[in-house]
Structure 1
Amino acid sequence: MSDEKMFLLKCKECDAEFFTEGENNFYRKKGLHTPKRCKACREKRKAQHERSLKEKEQENILSNLQFEQAEETEMLLADPNTVLYIIGNGFDLMHGVPSSYYNFRDSMSRRNELREALEMYVEKENLWADFEESLAYLNDEAMLGTLNDWMDIFDVKEQHDDDFSAADFFMAAEAAMSPTQVIMRELPKRFRKWIDTLKPTVSNKPLEQIINTQSMFINFNYTEFLEIIYRIPKKNIFYIHAERRDKNKELILGHSGIANRKIDGNPRKLRSNQLRMKNQTTYDLHETAGYQLSNYYESTAKKSNVVIEANKETFMSFSDVETVVVIGHSLSVVDYPYFKEIIRNNRNLSNMKWYISWYSASDIKRVDAFAKTLGIQPKQIKLFKV
């Protein structure tokens, strides 16, 4: 066995041999302490530590919780005619459906042009954790910064030059803004294709003691698993963002339109004064690109107001709802308009009861922010763990 493959240490946890001479040299150069555990045991301890921190955070939040904990039977005792269930992606995940946006990411290869455009130009630290809102955090400055290079590539002349070509001018703008075109063109198609592949991988019904099949449902998912798994009549379900079985309707997703700090104001002011302006043509090119960016933000925004307007009667039918049961919904800001519309149409706001599912400490924080923003009193909310 070569020196490089000779193991120098034994793990104090599992007694396995580890740590080669090469690793020893690396640790010595970096001034690092010699490890006492092998890599597998170190990673196991790290995971345990992280889990312990999360548990402590959760215990701390629960000990100071302003919301009561609900029993499953409470929800089934209510009159089904006055109960509205709001179903989010957590519902599909509970039933073994690989429907997270991380799954959507993994359905594309690393070299896929849509994935490359998203991961290269979206500024959100973890774009797949809150994918829809992340669409509003495009790094437009990075794209605008390439305009001068594209001007040189397409040899864009000044507008007073006899050889000026409008075609070259607009090709330079389109080349710089091409990531936005890729996202607008490919995201709806790729997303629909992925949604069509989803199916449950478990046969049990974890929500059987919570769901009343005769109640009303707002389904934020595009899938029909409420109908298949729990035999909910289709007439009782409002597929608020369309459903995958209807091939004539585009599936609705997008950001709230208010998240990106650069949307407000004139798109012509998108940091143009900070970029290198060689002449008036350069300035005009930045203006043209700015308008294309504005079109991107508008195109990728979730048109909640349009959905609400098109479904006025449906929202009005929730006027006598006394109990709202939220299952697996992240309560993301992008969907606040729908909740506000439910509240606005209700005849007895002060007596509405809200039962909201939670899974992690971050969920409870979102419930708190949700309640404060929508003016729901803590005494009206009860939480239940899923």
Structure 2
Amino acid sequence: MKLYIVGNGFDLSHNLKTSYTEFRLYLLEHRDEVYTDEDLIISKGDILRNFERYCQPNDLWSDFEEQTEKIISEISEGKIIIFEEEWSCKLDIGGERHKFIDCFKKLIKKQDSTFDTDIYHNEIQEYALKYFNNKVRELYIWVPYLYISFQEWIQTIILKNTKNIYEIDEDSSVISFNYTNTMEDVYQQKDVLHLHGSVKNLEDVVLGFHSPEIDDKLPGLETSFTKEFKETQRMFAEQGSRKLNSNKFYDENIGRFYKPVNLLKDSIESFVKNKNIHEVIILGHSYNKIDWVYFKELVRCAPEAKYLFSYYSQNDKENINKIILENKFDIDCEKIHVDNFKIKKD
């Protein structure tokens, strides 16, 4: 059996508008469209400005993903000014939480000296934290809507009239790094794993970055993507309970652009297991370091297969050499220009 691994270059070669530049143009063209979130209003233009305030992505898709690490870092290390003081957006460093509640109490006392803040301590604490969380939400409301805008944008990519240009064997298996259904709708492939989700399953779309540094800085973030964690969260929600010190908006959006690598590796293993794969053909990949972890898992699961690494540019060839040498892949492999996989014209 042949296994095809397709990256964004595969879609680009079909003249599909899937580059970051197109996403940016989408936000620009719809910059006046607004989202209303309770009392907050944010436009697509606001989203783009905020994103590019922290990031300078270029046309390469992998670079866009790498830039999202800055979003994770910004939220995790973010500061906010309240009561003329600077606070961590997490509000959980040492006694900072208690200090903020004390500031809130003093403000109430200043407005009404007769009010007994000790008697109503619990109510004041809950209100103070709600006030703080709302301020954080106002500051970072653009983050979830960048993700939502991305979901909307991938739905605008039209496959109609797209023609197959590659020789793809029938009854093959496919691991796609793309959100489009090009392999299913254009090449009629049935056995396809969308590693990062697809346009047909928007809630499963994975967009973002992963690094050991992030895991060290934010322990527990990786496990927050497991089914067990989500089931526990659902049970707590049904019971109407939530930790008083939890900032729901912060908790949800710190992981909005985090890539749960361990779970994605597991999905590769499950997909490849029990398949008699004799050839792996990689099309449309830049072989950027951000994706090396998946290739390592693939080689681990199918070590006896022959690997055909396609390249488009000299940079691709250099990246192929790097991925093989630096990961010490002991595999039968070959580098082939991508045009050799295209349908031969008469």
TM-score (norm 2): 0.64
Single out whichever of 334-343 and 288-297 deviates more from structure 2.
288-297
Q: After TM superposition, give the deviation of residue 312 of structure 1 in Å.
A: 4.5
Looking at structure 1, the residues matched to 84 and 161 of structure 2 have their Cα atoms a distance apart, in angstroms, of 52
* 3-state SS of paired residue (1:230): coil
1:194 lines up with 2:153 in the alignment: yes
Q: After TM superposition, give the deviation of residue 245 of structure 1 in Å.
A: 2.3
Structure 1 counterpart of 2:6: 87
Structure 2 counterpart of 1:368: 321
1:355 lines up with 2:312 in the alignment: no
The code of the aligned residue for 2:316 comes to D
CA deviation vs aligned residue, 1:171-227 (integer Å, no higher than 9, x gap): 4565356454421x213322221111112476543213xx21222111222222222
Structure 2 counterpart of 1:175: 135
Looking at structure 2, the residues matched to 292 and 310 of structure 1 have their Cα atoms a distance apart, in angstroms, of 28
> What does 1:1-386 align with in structure 2 at a 5 Å threshold?
81=1, 83-109=2-28, 110=31, 112=44, 113-122=46-55, 125-126=56-57, 129=60, 130-138=63-71, 140=74, 144=78, 146-147=80-81, 151=85, 158=103, 161=106, 163=108, 166=125, 167=127, 171-172=131-132, 174-175=134-135, 178-183=138-143, 185-200=144-159, 203-208=162-167, 211-232=168-189, 234=190, 236-246=191-201, 249-258=203-212, 263=217, 296-309=253-266, 312-318=269-275, 320-346=276-302, 349=303, 351-377=304-330, 380-386=333-339
Q: After TM superposition, give the deviation of residue 256 of structure 1 in Å.
A: 1.4
Looking at structure 1, the residues matched to 130 and 59 of structure 2 have their Cα atoms a distance apart, in angstroms, of 32
Single out whichever of 197-206 and 300-309 deviates more from structure 2.
197-206
Q: After TM superposition, give the deviation of residue 326 of structure 1 in Å.
A: 0.5
Unaligned runs of 5+ in 1: 1-80, 268-287
Structure 1 counterpart of 2:239: none
When you count strand as a share of all residues, which structure comes out higher?
Answer: 2
- Equivalenced residue count is 271
Q: After TM superposition, give the deviation of residue 362 of structure 1 in Å.
A: 2.6
* 3-state SS of paired residue (2:5): strand
* 3-state SS of paired residue (1:97): coil
Looking at structure 2, the residues matched to 354 and 327 of structure 1 have their Cα atoms a distance apart, in angstroms, of 11
Q: After TM superposition, give the deviation of residue 369 of structure 1 in Å.
A: 2.5
Q: After TM superposition, give the deviation of residue 293 of structure 1 in Å.
A: 6.8
C-alpha distance 374-296 of structure 1, shift in aligned 2 (>3 A) = farther
The code of the aligned residue for 2:327 comes to L
Q: After TM superposition, give the deviation of residue 308 of structure 1 in Å.
A: 3.6
Unaligned runs of 5+ in 2: 32-42, 87-99, 110-123, 222-244, 340-346
Q: Is the 8 A contact 1:147 1:176 kept in 2?
A: no
Over alpha carbons, which structure has the higher Rg? 1
Looking at structure 1, the residues matched to 76 and 194 of structure 2 have their Cα atoms a distance apart, in angstroms, of 38
Q: After TM superposition, give the deviation of residue 317 of structure 1 in Å.
A: 3.0
The code of the aligned residue for 1:198 comes to I
CA deviation vs aligned residue, 1:230-283 (integer Å, no higher than 9, x gap): 232x2x222222232246x4212221133669836899xxxxxxxxxxxxxxxx
- What percent identity do the matched residue pairs reach? 21
Q: Is the 8 A contact 2:277 2:305 kept in 1?
A: yes
C-alpha distance 323-115 of structure 1, shift in aligned 2 (>3 A) = same
Looking at structure 2, the residues matched to 86 and 200 of structure 1 have their Cα atoms a distance apart, in angstroms, of 19
Q: After TM superposition, give the deviation of residue 145 of structure 1 in Å.
A: 5.2
Looking at structure 2, the residues matched to 241 and 126 of structure 1 have their Cα atoms a distance apart, in angstroms, of 20
TM-score (norm 1): 0.58
C-alpha distance 179-328 of structure 1, shift in aligned 2 (>3 A) = farther
C-alpha distance 151-312 of structure 1, shift in aligned 2 (>3 A) = same
* 3-state SS of paired residue (2:277): coil
Q: Is the 8 A contact 1:188 1:251 kept in 2?
A: no
